Structure 1
């Protein structure tokens, strides 16, 4: 295994890079837990609307059942070197009640509209409360870039 030297980024750079990944990535690992059945982890497609992560799954899935029982959720982008972990509380919205703009953004990104499928689906909306981002050991210290729903480096302009 080849180890690449990492240059420590500032909080503003981590924020910028995290927002870019949220805008451009397709998959996220969703970790939930049920009070009686324990932990569950699954990859889902997602899109970022600038404030929240949106996903969709079958209404009867273990993920949806867990979130209805315990809305706390952890999300992880699928890269073990360029880590982005998001914590928040999930809101499950039935496919026929979801905001049209969110559903259309999901369909535009993935070419699939769950609202037209047989069976019930739920859109899952997660507004981050905590975000951690780091690349390798040099960035472990200071990895929290959002706390209590607020980006920590407010001096940096929003990259949008």
Structure 2
């Protein structure tokens, strides 16, 4: 594990760094599970609206099937050194029922509007209940920066 030159960030800095990444990045790994078919993981584009992540997938995809059956999901940004893991429950919106502001913001970010496609798409909204963020071993302690949907004011030592 890369630790040389890594200084431990305080909780407020970790939260701000995480929010900056959520606003700027475009890809997230989405992990779902199905009681009969087991786990599934796929990268999807996402939009952070300040409170939740919005993703979109084909209404016939494994991800769509899984979140309809079991809404608990885990999300991970791609950088394995600057880790951000989110956990929450998915809310599903067929493309013709998605809130307009979310769909417009998604289309503006990616230059693609799933509502205009011939096949149906499903928008998936996840408001995180838990967020973990750390950079290398020095930050493993206190990596929980959101618990029960509330940002932590202090570094949590239970990790």
Structure 2 counterpart of 1:75: 75
Show structure 1 runs of 5+ residues with no match. 155-160
Contact 2:95 2:123 in 1 (8 A): yes
In 2: Cα distance, 1:2 partner to 1:115 partner: 43
Match of 1:20 in 2: 20
Superposition CA RMSD, Å: 1.3
Count of residue correspondences: 154
Instruction: State the match for 1:11 in structure 2.
Output: 11
Shift of 1:3: 5.4
Please report the TM-score for the alignment, with normalisation by the length of structure 1: 0.94
Check 1:143–1:3 CA distance in 2 against 1; reply closer, same or farther (3 A cut). closer
Flag as ranges the 4+ runs of structure 1 deviating above 3 A. Answer: 1-4
Distance 1:40 1:2, change over 3 A: closer
Aligned match of 1:157:
none
How far apart are residue 15 of structure 1 and its match? Answer: 0.3
- Tell me how far apart the structure 2 counterparts of residues 96 and 11 of structure 1 sit (CA, whole Å): 39
Q: Specify the SS of the correspondent of 2:50.
A: coil
Secondary structure, counterpart of 1:106 in structure 2:
helix
Does residue 1:97 correspond to 2:90, yes or no?
Answer: no
**1:4 Cα deviation from its structure 2 partner:** 3.3
Q: Which residue is 2:141 aligned to?
A: 141
- Give the TM-score, by structure 2 length: 0.94
Q: Distance in 2 between matches of 1:14 and 1:3?
A: 17
How far apart, in 2, do the equivalents of 1:27 and 1:113 lie? 16
Alignment partner, residue 53 of structure 2: 53
